[in-house]
């Protein structure tokens, strides 16, 4: 089936008597037309006015093809930090596996908004390998960074974050950070029973 055939079928579905069918067809038609014009979308994301670039970047995340993901990952090196932030947010739409390691490298960024956005998206992968990379940010002097790290650790759910979060809850002088640590503790996955028993014996 060609893209032309898909577009024709979806255009007809825009006249369906059921509203939910028309809505679904409209969304699908947007994506199909985007796939048809992928090169133009990538070019719009690469150059031009910043608002247009950001819109094109978000649309690339929506398209979710190998080519669109590769383009998004290339924007993680863009000199404009808000373009890098937009690319990270666009990756969150589908969380492609190939984006995981490039996102980890974004934690070394000098710009706090890039680091915060990378932490948020990394935690959505629910991959416990991220824990060791997220934990150091919990103890940063920058309160916003530390709070984002607490939220990310809670979202990720790795029970290994329990002790650092408890320490933060008990010792931080920042009430917002203490609140974020408390919320994160409530979201952690249970410790496996065997690990719990081992811990109690050592205690």
Summarised one tens digit per residue, pLDDT across range 69-119 is: 999 999 999 999 999 999 999 999 899 999 999 999 999 999 999 999 999
Shared domain check, 38 and 121: yes
Give the pLDDT mean for 28-53: 92
Give the pLDDT mean for 115-144: 94
Shared domain check, 145 and 99: no
pLDDT, one tens digit per residue, over 162-182 is 999 999 999 999 999 999 999
Shared domain check, 148 and 160: yes
Phi, psi (deg, nearest 5) at residue 169 = -60, -40
**Residue 179 belongs to domain with CATH number:** 1.25.10.10
Is 64 domain-assigned? Answer: yes
Q: Is the pLDDT of residue 67 over 70?
A: yes
Q: Can you tell me the distance from the alpha carbon of 28 to that of 17, in angstroms, rounded to the nearest whole number?
A: 17
First-last CA distance in the chain: 64
**Residue 6: what pLDDT?**
87
Q: Can you tell me the distance from the alpha carbon of 128 to that of 153, in angstroms, rounded to the nearest whole number?
A: 9
Shared domain check, 105 and 38: yes
Helix ranges (H only) for 125-161 are: 131-134, 143-156
Query: Domain containing 150: what range?
Result: 129-189
Query: Given 76, 100, 125, which residue is the final one in a domain?
Result: 125
pLDDT classification of 7: cutoffs 50, 70, 90: confident
Q: Can you tell me the distance from the alpha carbon of 27 to that of 43, in angstroms, rounded to the nearest whole number?
A: 22
Q: Is 6 exposed, middle or buried (0-12, 13-18, 19+ CB in 10 A)?
A: middle
Shared domain check, 57 and 97: yes
Higher pLDDT, 194 or 171: 171
Higher pLDDT, 48 or 98: 98
Q: Answer yes or no: are the C-beta atoms of 103 and 75 closer than 8 Å.
A: no
Q: Is the pLDDT of residue 196 over 60?
A: no
Strands (E), 93-189: none
Is 43 domain-assigned? Answer: yes
Shared domain check, 61 and 47: yes
**Residue 1: what pLDDT?**
55
Cβ of 180: how many Cβ atoms within 10 Å?
A: 26
Q: Is the pLDDT of residue 197 over 50?
A: no
pTM: 0.83
Q: Answer yes or no: are the C-beta atoms of 75 and 87 closer than 8 Å.
A: yes
Give the pLDDT mean for 112-132: 94
Q: Can you tell me the distance from the alpha carbon of 56 to that of 139, in angstroms, rounded to the nearest whole number?
A: 36
Residue 11 contacts by C-beta under 8 Å, 6 or more apart in sequence?
A: 25, 29
pLDDT, one tens digit per residue, over 9-38 is 999 999 999 999 999 999 999 989 888 899
**Residue 3: what pLDDT?**
79
State whether the Cα torsion 67-100-137-159 is positive or negative: positive
Shared domain check, 111 and 41: yes
Give the gyration radius of the chain's Cα atoms: 21
**Residue 193: what pLDDT?**
45
Domains in the chain, number? 2
pLDDT classification of 200: cutoffs 50, 70, 90: very low
């Amino acid at each position: 089936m060609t893209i032309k055939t898909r577009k024709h079928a979806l255009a007809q579905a825009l006249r369906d008597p059921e509203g939910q069918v028309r809505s679904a067809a409209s969304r699908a038609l947007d994506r199909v037309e985007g796939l048809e014009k992928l090169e133009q979308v990538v070019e719009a994301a690469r150059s031009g006015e910043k608002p247009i670039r950001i819109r094109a970047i978000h649309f690339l995340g929506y398209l979710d093809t190998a080519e669109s993901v590769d383009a998004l990952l290339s924007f993680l090196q863009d000199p404009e930090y808000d373009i890098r932030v937009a690319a990270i947010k666009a990756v969150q739409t589908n969380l492609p596996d190939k984006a995981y390691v490039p996102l980890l490298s974004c934690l070394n960024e000098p710009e706090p908004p890039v680091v915060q956005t990378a932490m948020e998206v990394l935690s959505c992968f629910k991959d416990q390998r991220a824990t060791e990379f997220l934990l150091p940010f919990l103890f940063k002097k920058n309160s916003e960074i530390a709070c984002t790290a607490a939220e990310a650790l809670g979202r990720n759910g790795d029970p290994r974050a329990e002790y650092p979060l408890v320490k933060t809850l008990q010792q931080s002088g920042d009430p917002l950070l203490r609140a974020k640590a408390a919320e994160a503790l409530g979201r952690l996955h249970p410790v496996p029973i065997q690990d719990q028993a081992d811990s109690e014996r050592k205690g």
